[in-house]
Protein backbone atom coordinates (compact mmCIF):
# COMPACT_ATOMS: atom_id res chain seq x y z
CA UNK A 1 0.00 0.00 0.00
CA UNK A 2 1.40 3.36 -1.00
CA UNK A 3 0.62 6.48 0.96
CA UNK A 4 0.95 10.09 -0.08
CA UNK A 5 1.83 12.46 2.69
CA UNK A 6 0.80 16.09 2.83
CA UNK A 7 3.54 18.18 4.43
CA UNK A 8 1.88 21.12 6.19
CA UNK A 9 5.00 23.24 5.96
CA UNK A 10 5.11 23.35 2.16
CA UNK A 11 1.56 22.43 1.17
CA UNK A 12 2.79 19.75 -1.25
CA UNK A 13 1.74 16.13 -1.58
CA UNK A 14 4.65 13.69 -1.67
CA UNK A 15 4.11 10.29 -3.28
CA UNK A 16 7.15 8.43 -1.98
CA UNK A 17 6.21 6.83 1.34
CA UNK A 18 5.96 3.06 1.17
CA UNK A 19 4.23 1.76 4.28
CA UNK A 20 6.17 -1.16 5.77
CA UNK A 21 5.07 -0.67 9.39
CA UNK A 22 2.11 1.04 11.07
CA UNK A 23 2.59 4.80 10.76
CA UNK A 24 3.21 6.84 13.89
CA UNK A 25 -0.23 8.46 13.73
CA UNK A 26 -1.91 5.10 14.42
CA UNK A 27 -0.20 4.71 17.79
CA UNK A 28 -1.82 5.52 21.09
CA UNK A 29 -5.20 6.32 19.54
CA UNK A 30 -8.13 5.80 21.91
CA UNK A 31 -10.81 8.03 20.33
CA UNK A 32 -11.50 8.12 16.60
CA UNK A 33 -13.81 10.36 14.60
CA UNK A 34 -14.49 9.32 11.02
CA UNK A 35 -16.00 11.66 8.43
CA UNK A 36 -17.22 9.76 5.38
CA UNK A 37 -18.37 11.08 2.02
CA UNK A 38 -19.73 9.58 -1.17
CA UNK A 39 -16.38 8.02 -2.11
CA UNK A 40 -16.68 5.32 0.55
CA UNK A 41 -19.86 3.96 -1.05
CA UNK A 42 -18.78 3.79 -4.69
CA UNK A 43 -17.50 0.21 -4.19
CA UNK A 44 -21.06 -0.63 -3.12
CA UNK A 45 -22.40 0.56 -6.47
CA UNK A 46 -23.56 4.01 -5.37
CA UNK A 47 -21.98 6.66 -7.61
CA UNK A 48 -20.47 9.78 -6.16
CA UNK A 49 -21.52 13.23 -7.33
CA UNK A 50 -18.52 15.11 -8.66
CA UNK A 51 -16.10 12.36 -9.71
CA UNK A 52 -15.31 11.44 -13.32
CA UNK A 53 -18.37 9.16 -13.41
CA UNK A 54 -20.30 11.07 -10.79
CA UNK A 55 -24.04 11.61 -10.91
CA UNK A 56 -23.76 15.36 -11.43
CA UNK A 57 -20.78 15.02 -13.77
CA UNK A 58 -22.84 12.87 -16.12
CA UNK A 59 -26.07 14.84 -15.66
CA UNK A 60 -25.51 18.38 -14.32
CA UNK A 61 -29.26 19.03 -14.26
CA UNK A 62 -29.66 16.30 -11.63
CA UNK A 63 -28.22 18.66 -9.01
CA UNK A 64 -31.57 20.52 -9.14
CA UNK A 65 -33.19 17.47 -7.57
CA UNK A 66 -31.12 18.09 -4.44
CA UNK A 67 -31.73 21.85 -4.28
CA UNK A 68 -34.41 22.75 -1.73
CA UNK A 69 -35.72 25.91 -3.39
CA UNK A 70 -36.01 24.22 -6.79
CA UNK A 71 -37.76 21.24 -5.23
CA UNK A 72 -40.38 23.43 -3.55
CA UNK A 73 -40.98 25.67 -6.57
CA UNK A 74 -41.12 23.19 -9.41
CA UNK A 75 -43.48 20.21 -9.46
CA UNK A 76 -41.56 18.80 -12.43
CA UNK A 77 -38.42 18.66 -10.29
CA UNK A 78 -40.35 16.82 -7.58
CA UNK A 79 -41.75 14.32 -10.06
CA UNK A 80 -38.28 13.62 -11.40
CA UNK A 81 -36.93 13.33 -7.86
CA UNK A 82 -39.52 10.70 -6.97
CA UNK A 83 -38.58 8.66 -10.03
CA UNK A 84 -34.92 8.93 -9.06
CA UNK A 85 -35.77 7.70 -5.55
CA UNK A 86 -37.51 4.65 -7.00
CA UNK A 87 -34.31 3.58 -8.74
CA UNK A 88 -31.79 4.75 -6.14
CA UNK A 89 -28.99 2.17 -5.77
CA UNK A 90 -29.15 2.44 -1.97
CA UNK A 91 -32.07 0.00 -1.90
CA UNK A 92 -29.93 -2.89 -3.12
CA UNK A 93 -26.43 -1.73 -2.08
CA UNK A 94 -24.44 -3.77 0.38
CA UNK A 95 -21.68 -2.58 2.71
CA UNK A 96 -18.21 -2.91 1.24
CA UNK A 97 -14.85 -3.67 2.84
CA UNK A 98 -14.40 -0.11 4.11
CA UNK A 99 -17.82 0.01 5.81
CA UNK A 100 -17.19 -3.37 7.41
CA UNK A 101 -13.72 -2.37 8.61
CA UNK A 102 -15.03 0.79 10.28
CA UNK A 103 -17.82 -1.16 11.96
CA UNK A 104 -15.26 -3.63 13.30
CA UNK A 105 -13.05 -0.75 14.47
CA UNK A 106 -15.99 0.67 16.41
CA UNK A 107 -16.09 -2.59 18.34
CA UNK A 108 -12.57 -2.17 19.69
CA UNK A 109 -11.85 1.58 19.74
CA UNK A 110 -14.21 4.39 20.75
CA UNK A 111 -15.33 5.55 17.31
CA UNK A 112 -17.84 8.09 16.03
CA UNK A 113 -18.79 7.77 12.36
CA UNK A 114 -19.94 11.12 11.00
CA UNK A 115 -21.31 10.59 7.52
CA UNK A 116 -22.41 12.85 4.71
CA UNK A 117 -24.04 9.83 3.07
CA UNK A 118 -27.72 8.98 3.16
CA UNK A 119 -27.44 5.29 2.27
CA UNK A 120 -27.42 3.66 5.73
CA UNK A 121 -24.49 1.41 4.81
CA UNK A 122 -22.53 2.08 8.01
CA UNK A 123 -25.41 0.75 10.13
CA UNK A 124 -25.95 -2.21 7.80
CA UNK A 125 -22.25 -3.02 8.16
CA UNK A 126 -22.76 -3.36 11.91
CA UNK A 127 -21.63 0.01 13.23
CA UNK A 128 -23.59 0.91 16.38
CA UNK A 129 -26.49 3.11 15.25
CA UNK A 130 -26.01 5.44 18.22
CA UNK A 131 -22.44 6.07 17.05
CA UNK A 132 -23.38 6.95 13.45
CA UNK A 133 -24.25 10.60 12.87
CA UNK A 134 -26.03 11.11 9.55
CA UNK A 135 -25.34 14.79 8.99
CA UNK A 136 -27.25 14.89 5.72
CA UNK A 137 -30.13 12.66 6.80
CA UNK A 138 -31.35 9.38 5.37
CA UNK A 139 -33.09 8.29 2.19
CA UNK A 140 -35.01 5.69 4.18
CA UNK A 141 -37.38 8.30 5.60
CA UNK A 142 -39.84 10.81 4.14
CA UNK A 143 -40.80 14.13 5.74
CA UNK A 144 -43.44 16.78 5.10
CA UNK A 145 -41.98 20.27 4.64
CA UNK A 146 -45.16 21.83 6.08
CA UNK A 147 -46.12 19.87 9.20
CA UNK A 148 -42.91 17.89 9.74
CA UNK A 149 -44.60 14.49 9.81
CA UNK A 150 -42.04 11.71 9.25
CA UNK A 151 -42.85 8.36 7.66
CA UNK A 152 -40.96 5.51 6.03
CA UNK A 153 -39.79 6.16 2.50
CA UNK A 154 -41.03 2.70 1.52
CA UNK A 155 -44.64 3.78 1.97
CA UNK A 156 -44.17 6.92 -0.11
CA UNK A 157 -42.55 4.95 -2.90
CA UNK A 158 -45.45 2.49 -2.94
CA UNK A 159 -47.73 5.45 -3.60
CA UNK A 160 -45.50 6.53 -6.51
CA UNK A 161 -45.61 3.02 -7.97
CA UNK A 162 -49.40 3.11 -7.63
CA UNK A 163 -49.58 6.23 -9.81
CA UNK A 164 -49.01 9.27 -7.55
CA UNK A 165 -46.16 11.06 -9.30
CA UNK A 166 -45.80 13.69 -6.54
CA UNK A 167 -47.41 12.22 -3.41
CA UNK A 168 -48.49 14.83 -0.84
CA UNK A 169 -48.32 14.50 2.92
CA UNK A 170 -51.02 12.16 4.21
CA UNK A 171 -51.73 14.43 7.19
CA UNK A 172 -51.79 17.97 5.83
CA UNK A 173 -51.43 17.70 2.05
CA UNK A 174 -48.04 19.45 2.10
CA UNK A 175 -45.01 18.67 -0.03
CA UNK A 176 -43.19 15.43 0.81
CA UNK A 177 -39.46 14.96 0.39
CA UNK A 178 -36.87 12.45 1.48
CA UNK A 179 -35.57 12.89 5.02
CA UNK A 180 -32.29 14.20 3.64
CA UNK A 181 -30.68 17.62 3.79
CA UNK A 182 -30.86 19.36 0.43
CA UNK A 183 -28.75 22.27 -0.73
CA UNK A 184 -30.27 25.35 0.83
CA UNK A 185 -31.41 23.55 3.97
CA UNK A 186 -29.64 23.91 7.33
CA UNK A 187 -28.26 20.90 9.11
CA UNK A 188 -29.98 19.67 12.24
CA UNK A 189 -28.36 21.79 15.00
CA UNK A 190 -28.34 18.95 17.54
CA UNK A 191 -26.73 16.53 15.10
CA UNK A 192 -24.10 19.06 14.08
CA UNK A 193 -23.35 19.80 17.74
CA UNK A 194 -22.78 16.10 18.43
CA UNK A 195 -20.51 15.81 15.40
CA UNK A 196 -18.55 18.87 16.48
CA UNK A 197 -18.04 17.41 19.96
CA UNK A 198 -16.86 14.12 18.46
CA UNK A 199 -14.36 15.96 16.24
CA UNK A 200 -13.09 18.11 19.12
CA UNK A 201 -12.66 15.13 21.46
CA UNK A 202 -10.90 12.65 19.16
CA UNK A 203 -7.22 11.70 18.98
CA UNK A 204 -7.51 10.92 15.27
CA UNK A 205 -9.88 12.08 12.57
CA UNK A 206 -10.15 10.08 9.37
CA UNK A 207 -11.78 11.94 6.47
CA UNK A 208 -12.68 9.31 3.89
CA UNK A 209 -14.02 9.72 0.38
CA UNK A 210 -15.13 13.34 0.74
CA UNK A 211 -14.23 16.29 -1.44
CA UNK A 212 -14.39 18.37 1.76
CA UNK A 213 -16.02 21.26 -0.05
CA UNK A 214 -19.52 20.96 1.45
CA UNK A 215 -19.80 22.93 4.66
CA UNK A 216 -20.25 22.83 7.56
CA UNK A 217 -19.41 19.11 7.47
CA UNK A 218 -15.95 19.68 5.97
CA UNK A 219 -14.98 22.16 8.68
CA UNK A 220 -15.07 19.33 11.22
CA UNK A 221 -11.57 18.54 9.93
CA UNK A 222 -10.42 21.94 11.15
CA UNK A 223 -12.21 21.43 14.47
CA UNK A 224 -10.26 18.21 15.04
CA UNK A 225 -6.92 19.63 13.91
CA UNK A 226 -7.35 22.78 16.00
CA UNK A 227 -8.03 20.61 19.05
CA UNK A 228 -4.73 18.79 18.51
CA UNK A 229 -5.99 15.62 16.81
CA UNK A 230 -4.15 13.96 13.95
CA UNK A 231 -6.03 14.42 10.68
CA UNK A 232 -5.68 11.79 7.97
CA UNK A 233 -7.44 12.31 4.65
CA UNK A 234 -8.19 9.37 2.37
CA UNK A 235 -9.44 10.68 -0.97
CA UNK A 236 -8.64 10.23 -4.62
CA UNK A 237 -8.34 13.97 -5.34
CA UNK A 238 -6.89 16.95 -3.44
CA UNK A 239 -9.12 18.66 -0.88
CA UNK A 240 -9.11 22.11 0.70
CA UNK A 241 -7.98 20.57 4.00
CA UNK A 242 -4.92 18.66 2.77
CA UNK A 243 -2.53 21.24 4.22
CA UNK A 244 -3.88 20.55 7.73
CA UNK A 245 -3.41 16.80 7.43
CA UNK A 246 -0.82 14.64 9.12
CA UNK A 247 -1.16 12.31 6.14
CA UNK A 248 -3.01 12.34 2.82
CA UNK A 249 -3.70 8.96 1.24
CA UNK A 250 -4.64 8.56 -2.42
CA UNK A 251 -4.95 4.77 -2.57
CA UNK A 252 -8.30 2.98 -3.07
CA UNK A 253 -10.55 3.29 -0.04
CA UNK A 254 -11.52 -0.37 -0.03
CA UNK A 255 -7.86 -1.35 0.27
CA UNK A 256 -6.61 1.31 2.66
CA UNK A 257 -9.38 1.49 5.26
CA UNK A 258 -9.29 -2.19 6.31
CA UNK A 259 -5.56 -1.89 6.87
CA UNK A 260 -5.84 1.35 8.83
CA UNK A 261 -8.65 -0.09 10.94
CA UNK A 262 -6.59 -3.18 11.72
CA UNK A 263 -3.61 -1.04 12.69
CA UNK A 264 -5.73 1.08 15.03
CA UNK A 265 -7.43 -1.92 16.58
CA UNK A 266 -4.16 -3.82 16.89
Q: Which residues are catalytic?
A: 136
Do 139 and 152 form a contact (C-beta atoms < 8 A)? Answer: no
Q: How far apart are CA 217 and CA 215, in angstroms?
A: 5
Report strand pairing: 230-234 vs 110-115.
Answer: unpaired
Do 158 and 165 form a contact (C-beta atoms < 8 A)? Answer: no
Q: Cα–chain-centroid distance for residue 222? A: 17
Distances (CA, A) of 142 to 126, 157, 176: 24, 10, 7
Amino acid sequence: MRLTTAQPDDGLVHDDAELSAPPAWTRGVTRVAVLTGAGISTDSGIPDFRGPNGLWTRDPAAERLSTYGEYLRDAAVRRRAWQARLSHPAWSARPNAAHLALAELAGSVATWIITQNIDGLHQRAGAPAERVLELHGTIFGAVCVSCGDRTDMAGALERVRAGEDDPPCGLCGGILKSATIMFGQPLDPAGLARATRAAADCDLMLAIGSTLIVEPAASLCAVAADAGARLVIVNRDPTPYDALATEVIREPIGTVIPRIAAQLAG
